[in-house]
Structure 1
């Protein structure tokens, strides 16, 4: 069966592992922590996230540098983060690095690109850490999800981003403990498929609305829309997302704040997405040009 063409503009995904975590550096931290299962980043981890955000900005500048003169391109950024604190803090650092690099590379206004420095963020439980005995000794409380959302909304984390209340996550709970490897893989496949479908639907709706505005002689209407999804997750999640986009085993080494980029090519089938966690075959075809990349990071 031939692949199905997708809307003009399309979806680009970045997969980022969280930065360096405190409990892997300070063994004493766990003994006094109220939530030992949810460690924050170290200062070095925050720097790693900022470096990665700056690198994303450079990649995005390259992606939009050669737009046709007659094409007004709009790029929308959405960060989907695991509910764990280290991932939310990494998301904040990514945005900080991106925005700072925007200032460094400030360029004259162009009519071919709609500059979008404002990112949105949402908590996606489908990107959670793998819930097995290698990482935890029991089921973690689902309250970590609502607590993280509340922290982001009130600005105690991800204060540089607006929470996307229009994004409905794949699920409202953490994976069931103990989570088997194949179930974890299917979870990430489903999360990628779902998030991509949501963005493609948004593109279609935006382009319909844009057509109406053009009929009304609005000259500032984008003729193409890109959606950039940034998944902030864990080491096992990066491996699973790489498998979902390449259909090959993920990277052997998944370092802190490594970056992968996947650009959508086509949809494999016109069939509706399967129920969450039921499919091991991704619904979309992807082109991956960065795979667990780390050369943008200092000391690596």
Structure 2
């Protein structure tokens, strides 16, 4: 039940998709890490790229099924790790190919690197601190069109975090990081749409695609359902979340200090992966 200080938001204020990256090379090739220059940052396999293509096509289908007669802006926020940036690129390609079947004219997707969505900086995953240089590298690769060449880098998106979490990050701290990252993104998008409406300006619907890691998906599921999510969801599993309301009028808590989300959502599908089951 919402408290008296909570307030509902207009329908279709914000739609979010949460996607885990596709299959990574070091999980199928044990020798890769021994010759890699950046063993902490593996790329996708070809299979992982196909998984992400399928996921982009599924997002397109879900958008069509929603039958929302409203111009839509798409923003992709990706973890700085290479496997996530490559997943974002393939998602967009799969989405576009599906849209072409419908002969729909879609505005170019925007993309930004968000370090708040990075992998849990845990000793379970890494032997030492991953350098912050991967943030600059992924940003440069997108700017230069080496990656995500058909998307536009979002110059007006301000990164919530400028650095990676410090090693070794605790699980509860990682959860709080994802809750805060989602809350801040949502708050910005809601404020933007409210300002547009107040000015009488064109107010497109907003869709944000979050591309992140298994533990991150589990945390985003917690933030939107208040139920624990698995940290080992399938590669390219997809969750769709529709914003419903703000739970309180109080300001957002300091970044990374609370695992209590500020917003309510309707969620479904949740960690869906049947679209890649036949691959």
TM-score tier after normalising by the smaller chain length? over 0.9
| Post-superposition CA distance 1:211-268 (Å, at most 9, x none) | 26xxxxxxxxx5x532111100000000000011000111475000000111111000
In the alignment, is the contact (CA less than 8 A) between 1:9 and 1:225 conserved in 2? no
Give CA-to-partner distance per residue, 1:134-154, whole Å, 9 cap, x none: 000111111110111011000
Determine the structure 2 residue equivalent to 1:76.
73
In structure 1, distance between residues paired with 2:116 and 2:106: 26
Which residue in the other structure is 2:101 paired with?
104
Residue 90 (structure 2) pairs with residue 90 (structure 1): no
1:270 maps to 2:271: no
TM-score by length of 2: 0.95
Contact 2:215 2:231 in 1 (8 A): no
Gaps of 5+ in 2: none
1:49 aligned onto 2:46? no
Question: Are positions 1:136 and 2:136 aligned together?
Answer: no
Which residue in the other structure is 2:228 paired with? 249
Q: Calculate the aligned-residue CA RMSD, in Å.
A: 1.5
Q: 1:35-75: CA deviations, max 9, x gaps?
A: 0000000011000001000000010111235x4xxxxx221
Contact 2:132 2:163 in 1 (8 A): yes
Q: Which of the two has higher C-alpha Rg?
A: 1
CA contact (8 A) 2:217 2:231 kept: no
Aligned residues of 2:118 and 2:213 also touching (Cα < 8 A): yes
* Superposed counterparts of 1:58-207, under 5 Å: 58-65=61-68, 67=69, 73-106=70-103, 115-207=105-197
Residue from 227, 230, 246 that aligns with 2:209: 230
Pairwise CA distance, 1:116: 2.7
| Aligned counterparts of 1:268 and 1:289: Cα–Cα separation in 2 | 20
Aligned length: 276
Matched, 1:36 2:26: no
The superposition leaves residues 115-134 of structure 1 with CA deviations (integer Å, 9 ceiling, x where unpaired) of: 53421100000000001110
User: 1:166-200: per-residue Cα shift (whole Å, max 9, x none)?
Assistant: 11111100011100010000000000001111111
Conserved 8 A contact 1:52-1:94: yes
- Ranges of 4+ aligned residues in structure 1 off by more than 3 Å: none
When normalised by structure 1's length, the TM-score is: 0.88
Gaps of 5+ in 1: 68-72, 108-114, 213-221
